Structure 1
Amino acid sequence: MTRTVISTEDAPIPGAPLSQGIRKGPILQVSGQLPFDPDTGEIAGATVADQTAQTLRNVDAVLKAAGAGWEDVVMLRVHLTGPAHLAEMNQAYAAAVGAPFPARTTVYMRLPPGLLVEIDALAVLDD
């Protein structure tokens, strides 16, 4: 099976040695997306809700570039800077992703200054 690089100008271009997404067969892995506005390169908002919404728009853009959608996502990993942000992130997440929700893991970690959330996705597409 061929490994296909997925890229789109509708999500931020990575500043690190990684692809926005990789598809191999029916499996699509979307790299961790951050809350950067792809048009301005700036962090979109100062709240967890604003940053979660932008981050999920970036995930969605990579999914669409691969011919996928939220219905294909089986797992999301959310990285937050602290547990105090969980409730606010959950509200923005639920509004953006919608039911039925994919499986999810949420972890807490240090992110670069100003960044409050990072999200990656695993999707399985019909061939």
Structure 2
Amino acid sequence: MSNAIQVPQAPQFSLPFSHAVRAGDFVYVSGQVGVDPVIGEISGPTIEEQTRQCLRNIEIILEAVGLTLDHVIKSNAYVSRKEDFPGYNQAYSEMFNQPYPTRTTAPVDLGAYLVEIDVIAYAPEKRTRLE
């Protein structure tokens, strides 16, 4: 059984999707773009600004179900321009703690958006570093 999650504080779009779906011990968060949920506009012109905003939007959704970015075990990112990969990696590494989630990153044309990120979070406990 799964439960759809809609979060009023997250960016709102007139598209047919849930912000997230909880299925058992997992929360699947729909792709987020770098839109500031307060003003409803793209957060800035750089990949770093938009990546940070994407991940803040994901944080907002996860917080609604009592989770944090530390619960994320997998991320998928779609970056508009290959030359932005270094800036994306820099901002990504600032937002996540180690051990980093597994990840896929691919170049995709996103129009006005420079990045879109979706994640899977494991709900029962925080991930811990294996020594």
Place the TM-score, normalised by the shorter chain, in its bin. Answer: over 0.9
Task: Calculate the TM-score normalised by the size of structure 1.
Answer: 0.93
* Map 1:98-113 → 2, pairs under 5 A: 98-112=97-111
Partner of 2:128: none
Question: C-alpha displacement at 1:10, in angstroms?
Answer: 2.2
Identical columns (%) = 36
Unaligned runs of 5+ in 2: 126-131
Separation of aligned partners in 1, 2:49 and 2:73: 24
Paired residues in the alignment total 125
Q: Out of 81, 104, 114, which is 1:116 matched to?
A: 114
SS in 2 for 1:8: coil
* 20-29 vs 65-74, which moves further: 65-74
What is the CA RMSD across the aligned residues, in angstroms?
1.2
Task: Calculate the TM-score normalised by the size of structure 2.
Answer: 0.90
Separation of aligned partners in 2, 1:15 and 1:120: 18
Q: Deviations over 1:16-40 (max 9, x none)?
A: 1000000011111000001111011
Residue type at the aligned position of 2:118: D
Q: Deviations over 1:52-87 (max 9, x none)?
A: 010100011111112211221110001001211100
Partner of 1:4: 3
Following TM superposition, where does structure 1 have runs of at least 4 consecutive aligned residues deviating by more than 4 angstroms?
none
